[in-house]
């Protein structure tokens, strides 16, 4: 499988990607969920003296959103929405060992992080701008208007973004191979994206018993192949 960034976005977008195989998606991993709860409380505690919405990596994501012509106050990324929920003590659903791990890393790094069921992806993957009238059904059963939004697309069409992900590629209990994507902008350092990938790889290995493949920093194109390059932690 290839993953590439459309030329229109290569000056503004960066991706961190890897494959995870032999995944066991568990409905509950209480130790993992406990870590998310601890982090959530820490975020709220920190907010008493420092505004988390001014986090440098979050601002860099918003800069990317603005760079593609979107209003970052109207088009909030998944990481910002998760942070705002946390600050208001609104409930965040415990979904499964993969989604919960992605949420933990997203809240920790302020980077949008998504996991996709590889069995439901057809052909190569491209990060491109959504086309006019392009929409997809989200995991929350809403219609997401993808027009003008940076989206991940395969042969059937758009299936994910840093704002929302599609129901088609949602990681459920039957997923065994997943594509992991950490979204970033050109202002993000390689170390920020690498850190997000490494943290999630460790959590997937520990709590979903995954075999994790090579980490890729994508600025134009990368070829993803299965393999134990990182292995189980």
The per-residue pLDDT for range 131-155, each reduced to its tens digit, is 999 999 998 778 999 999 999 999 9
Question: For residue 16, is pLDDT > 70?
Answer: yes
* pLDDT attached to residue 228: 53
Domains of the chain: 2-223 (3.50.40.10)
* pLDDT attached to residue 58: 95
* pLDDT attached to residue 21: 96
226: confidence class by pLDDT, cuts 50, 70, 90 = low
Q: Taking residues 98-122, what's their average pLDDT?
A: 97
Q: Taking residues 49-70, what's their average pLDDT?
A: 94
Tokens of 201: 């790889």
229: confidence class by pLDDT, cuts 50, 70, 90 = very low
Rounded Cα distance, 149 and 151, in Å:
6
* pLDDT attached to residue 232: 37
Strand 125-129 relative to strand 2-5, pairing: parallel
Question: For residue 65, is pLDDT > 80?
Answer: yes
* pLDDT attached to residue 141: 76
Q: Taking residues 47-57, what's their average pLDDT?
A: 93
CB-based contacts of 169, cutoff 8 Å, min separation 6: 116, 117, 120, 121, 159, 160
Tokens of 169: 């590629």
- Asked whether 186 and 64 are in contact (CB, 8 A), the reply is yes
Q: Taking residues 190-211, what's their average pLDDT?
A: 97
Query: What global pTM score does this model have?
Result: 0.94
Q: At 3, is the secondary structure helix, strand, or coil?
A: strand
Name the residue with tokens 């069921």.
117
- Asked whether 184 and 16 are in contact (CB, 8 A), the reply is yes
207: confidence class by pLDDT, cuts 50, 70, 90 = very high
What would you report as the CA-atom Rg of the chain, rounded to the nearest whole angstrom?
Answer: 16
Span of 117-121, 200-204, 226-230 with lowest mean pLDDT: 226-230
């Amino acid at each position: 499988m290839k993953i590439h960034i459309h030329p229109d976005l290569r000056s503004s977008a960066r991706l961190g990607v890897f494959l995870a195989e032999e995944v066991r998606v568990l409905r509950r991993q209480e130790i993992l969920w406990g870590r998310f709860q601890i982090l959530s409380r820490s975020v709220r505690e920190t907010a008493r003296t420092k505004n988390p919405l001014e986090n440098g990596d979050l601002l860099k994501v918003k800069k990317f959103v603005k760079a593609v012509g979107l209003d970052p106050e109207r088009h909030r990324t998944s990481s910002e929405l998760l942070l705002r929920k946390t600050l208001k003590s609104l409930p965040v659903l415990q979904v499964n060992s993969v989604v919960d791990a992605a949420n933990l890393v997203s809240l920790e790094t302020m980077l949008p992080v998504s996991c996709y069921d590889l069995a439901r992806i057809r052909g190569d993957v491209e990060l491109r701008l959504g086309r006019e009238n392009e929409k997809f059904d989200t995991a929350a059963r809403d219609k997401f208007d993808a027009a003008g939004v940076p989206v991940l697309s395969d042969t059937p069409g758009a299936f994910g973004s840093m704002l929302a992900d599609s129901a088609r590629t949602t990681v459920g209990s039957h997923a065994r191979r997943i594509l992991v994507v950490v979204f970033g902008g050109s202002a993000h350092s390689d170390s920020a994206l690498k850190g997000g990938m490494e943290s999630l790889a460790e959590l997937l290995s520990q709590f979903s018993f995954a075999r994790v493949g090579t980490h890729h920093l994508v600025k134009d194109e990368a070829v993803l192949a299965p393999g134990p390059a990182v292995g189980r932690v």
